[in-house]
Amino acid sequence: EVQLVESGGGLAQPGGSLRLSCAASGFTFKNYAMTWVRQAPGKGLERVSVISGSGGITFYADSVKGRFTISRDNFNNTLYIEMNNLRAEDTAVYFCAKGVRQLVNWNWFDSWGQGTLVAVSS
Amino acid sequence: IQMTQSPSTLSASVGDRVNITCRASQNIDSWLAWYRQKPGKAPNLLIYKASNLESGVPSRFSGSGSGAEFTLTISSLQPEDFATYYCQQYVSYYTFGQGTKVEMK
């Protein structure tokens, strides 16, 4: 059974940093692209970033480009996102999700974690 | 690529047939998925490649369309289907629609 468990969320000050983790199990992690999707309170789903199975290709939403860095550890089956220079508008539940292909394109997402809340406030 | 869902909110009763539309700003062939998100939960994949039912998803869900216009149909609404539904294109990176909330009439 595929399991994705996010951690690392919490309260951060504007301009601060957080690193989220997503521990994966139940599938061959390195064979699938992974993504972070966020959902601000009462709002819809917003793509944040996606990384290929090898980790060599990444994409970022314009809203986080230059501030967030996605990475993965294929030995320890863990996905990360380093979030710097946080803004109030980054407040959201952050979900990790598993793609159905190794490459970043042509992916839908067949398994999701339960999400971790990031709140940015002074 | 922009994805636009309609309606934004839909009021229905248990047993109703429900249709949700998703329009793409350009041709995406059949590269479209649908998700259901229950309140406080993660999204759950329902349909991929416009009309393929994900394993384990009830057969009351179906998807149709190609090019730039797509429809998710729930043939007989069940209590657990009061939720928000999202379409997602994946021909160019990926983009979600803004969501359609199905609420109890």
Closest approach of B77 to chain A, Cα-based (Å): 22
Q: What is the pLDDT of residue A115?
A: 98
Residues 28-57 of B with CB under 8 A from A: 31, 33, 35, 37, 41-45, 48, 54
Mutate to test the interface with A, among B1, B34, B47, B93 (most CBs of A within 10 A): B93
Side chain identity at A41, as an amino acid letter?
P
Distance CA A96, CA A75 (A): 18
Mean pLDDT of chain B: 97
Q: Is the Cβ of B87 closer than 8 Å to some Cβ of chain A?
A: no
HSE-CB of B88 using CA atoms within 13 angstroms: 28
Q: Closest residue of A to B50, CA-based? A: A108
Q: Which residues of B touch A105 (CB under 8 A)?
A: 90-93
Identify the band that residue B92 occupies on the pLDDT scale cut at 50, 70 and 90.
confident
Q: Which residues of A touch B99 (CB under 8 A)?
A: 44-45
Distance CA B64, CA A21 (A): 36
What is the arithmetic mean of pLDDT over B38-67? 97
Q: Is A6 helix (H, G, I), strand (E, B) or coil?
A: strand
Question: Closest partner residue to B98 among A44, A47, A97, by Cβ?
Answer: A44
What is the arithmetic mean of pLDDT over A4-26? 98
The token pair at A7 is: 């951690």
In chain B, beta strands by DSSP E: 3-6, 9-12, 18-24, 32-37, 44-48, 52-53, 61-66, 69-74, 84-89, 95-96, 100-104
Q: What is the pLDDT of residue B59?
A: 97
pLDDT 10s digits, A16-63: 999 999 999 999 999 999 999 999 999 999 999 999 999 999 999 999
Say if the Cβ atoms of B93 and A108 lie within 8 Å: no
pLDDT 10s digits, A58-104: 999 999 999 999 999 999 999 999 999 999 999 999 999 999 999 99
Among the listed residues B16, B54, B10, the one whose alpha carbon sits nearest the alpha carbon of residue A109: B54
B26-61 in b/e form (b: 16+ CB < 10 A) is eebebbbbbbbbeeeebbbbbbbebbebbeebeeeb
Distance CA B46, CA B34 (A): 6
What is the arithmetic mean of pLDDT over A1-28? 98
Question: Closest partner residue to B96 among A44, A112, A115, by Cβ?
Answer: A44
Closest approach of B66 to chain A, Cα-based (Å): 16
Q: Is B100 helix (H, G, I), strand (E, B) or coil?
A: strand
Say if the Cβ atoms of A106 and B97 lie within 8 Å: no
Quick check: A105 pLDDT over 90? no
Side chain identity at B94, as an amino acid letter?
Y
What is the arithmetic mean of pLDDT over B52-71? 98
Q: Residue B7, preceding bond cis, omega within 30 degrees? A: yes
Q: What is the pLDDT of residue B23?
A: 98
Closest approach of A19 to chain B, Cα-based (Å): 20
